Structure 1
Amino acid sequence: TYEYNDRLTIYASGLNITDETVRVYGKTKDLVLQAVQGGPRYDLAIRYKLF
C-alpha cells in the first residue's frame, strides 16, 4: 500500500506469481490429496477520498 497523500491510496498485490502448483499432502509426501494449478493472480486498487 502506498499513500500518495491524504486522499489518494494505491494498493497492489500478487499471489502465486511463479505459477507453482499447490499440493495438499496426507501423512506422507507420497499421498497427494489435492493438486491445484490456478496460475498467478495480480490485484491493483486505487482509492480516492472525495471528502
Structure 2
Amino acid sequence: MLSGSGRTYMFRAPWMAIWPGVAISLAVFGFNMLGDALRDLLDPRLRGLAR
C-alpha cells in the first residue's frame, strides 16, 4: 500500500515504478529461462527423449 506522499509520485512520475517493475520482470524471466536450460541439460530423465 502506498503512503500518501508516495502516491503523488505515482501520478507525477510513473516511470519511477514502471522501470523497476520492468527490470524485476526481466530478471525473473531470465532466471526462468536459465533454470529451464539447466534442467534440460542436467535432468537424466530427459536425456533419452528426442525433441
Question: TM-score, with normalisation over the residues of structure 2?
Answer: 0.23
Which structure has the larger Rg over C-alpha atoms? 2
The structure whose residues are more often strand, as a share, is 1
Using CA pairs under 8 Å that are at least 6 residues apart, name the structure with larger relative contact order, 1 or 2.
1
- Greater helix content: 2
Structure 1 length-normalised TM: 0.23
